[in-house]
Amino acid sequence: MSENPYSPRAFFTGLGDRLPRVLLSPQKYVQGPGVLNHLGEHLSLLAVEKVAVLGSKRCLENEAARAINSIKSVGIDVAIAQFGGECSLYEIENQVETLSPEKPDFLVALGGGKTVDAGRCIAERLSVPIVIAPTLASNDAPCSALSVVYTTEGVQESVEFFARNPTLVIVDTEVVANADERYLVAGIGDAMATWYEAKVCRANTAAVTPAGARPTLAAYAMSMICAETLYEFGEEAIAAVAESRNNDSLEKVVEANTLLSGIGFESGGLAMAHPLALAYTRINRVHNNYLHGEIVAISTMAQLALEESTDMHKAARFFARVGLPVHLGQLSMSPDNLDELDILAEVTMTNPNAHHMPMKLSHSLIKQSILDAHHVGVKISDEVGDQAYRRLHH
């Protein structure tokens, strides 16, 4: 962590006794097929002379190569930084040391969630703005001003907050269409939680968003259309990616997963789904084999079970149809392993966002909600079938 870690919560609380409503968003969001081929033109609008491009080895040889060509073609210098794979302090500090002498005036982070998160931490330490080019639509991270930092072993260690959101988020849907469909499905799981969590925060006058302030109606509206879009176009978008095709449904769902969900969670607020999902990463078997959005989906079911929401079955049925986990067995867990359920409840209880829920949360209520969601999920999986899940998890 830097010496003076920025805390949006402390910042806004420190300004007065009544929290303002705050909306955070990237300065510009660009999405479409082939947009990475024009990254250089977008950067030239920002008066950039030299950029550092952070990407994994695989990414630098593929989609990043097109972006780099485009940057060079407009006369901007490029320094390449190969990402080691984990968003850890060790990796972040190494990259900062290598890139400092290059004196880039922008950082471009190209890749999946961990590259994006690491990129934000590196840009902050280099004191340069960041451009984010996600190559997957698998999570809600690209637009935000926070990064989850892991230990070198991949266990969540801390969350770093930044005073600036990305200057530009640029999503090439041709790249997303050619990625493994499991990533898009996971992104749908992550994005579906946005609306259910924002809804809880809207009803709670004490709720504080990750932006450190009161939720905005704008973020709430975005969360709502996010869920509507996923329910309506999710399956068509997945079918398109399964055939490496792009279509209008995919465009809509990528926007939902990236922009709507990103602004929705950061300025709309979180409830129990995300704290519980983060708790699941304490179980190595789950952390190593399942994507963030997959874990968020099953955690959303637990939140809806706790709320006794009428949307519980609707969400579970949709998750089963698209191949997201709907019961503990599909996360390599068992309802009989009470020790693991205790860990989930314990870790969730320590997360202030979880306490946005309308009832007084307790260890036993959390455990019960996980089990209730599990039993509903088993029934729904029998009813809907688990073909979609098995297709993605072979």
Question: Which is closer to Zn ion, CB of 274 or CB of 327?
Answer: 274
Total residues at interface with Zn ion (CB under 5 A): 2
Question: Which is closer to Zn ion, CB of 192 or CB of 213?
Answer: 192
Q: Widest CA span of the chain, in angstroms?
A: 61
Dist. CA 112–CA 225, nearest whole Å? 24
Residues within window 186-205 making contact with Zn ion, judged by CB under 5 A: 190
Rounded to 5°, the CA angle 142-147-152 comes to 120
Question: Which is closer to Zn ion, CB of 172 or CB of 190?
Answer: 190
Dist. CA 130–CA 132, nearest whole Å? 6
Asked if residue 106 lies in contact with residue 128, where contact means CB atoms within 8 angstroms, the answer is yes
Strand 156-161 with 146-150, pairing: antiparallel
Q: What are phi and psi of 111, to 5 degrees?
A: 150, -155
- Tell me the residue nearest to Zn ion as measured from the CB: 190
Using CB under 5 A, which of the segments 74-82, 103-111, 183-191, 301-309 binds Zn ion?
183-191
Question: Which is closer to Zn ion, CB of 117 or CB of 140?
Answer: 140
Dist. CA 297–CA 324, nearest whole Å? 7
Spatial neighbors of 55 by CB under 8 A, at least 6 apart, are: 64, 80, 81, 82, 83, 109, 110, 111, 115
Question: Which is closer to Zn ion, CB of 140 or CB of 172?
Answer: 140
Using CB under 5 A, which of the segments 36-44, 83-91, 135-143, 324-332 binds Zn ion?
135-143
- Residue 295, classed as helix, strand or coil, is helix
Tell which one of 63, 124, 140, 307 touches Zn ion (CB under 5 A).
140
Using CB under 5 A, which of the segments 93-101, 133-141, 307-315, 317-325 binds Zn ion?
133-141
266 near Zn ion, judged by CB under 5 A: no
Residues within window 94-123 making contact with Zn ion, judged by CB under 5 A: none
Q: How far is the CB of 278 from Zn ion (least distance, A)?
A: 9
Dist. CA 289–CA 298, nearest whole Å? 15
Using CB under 5 A, which of the segments 12-20, 138-146, 171-179, 330-338 binds Zn ion?
138-146
Q: Which residues bind Zn ion (CB under 5 A)?
A: 140, 190
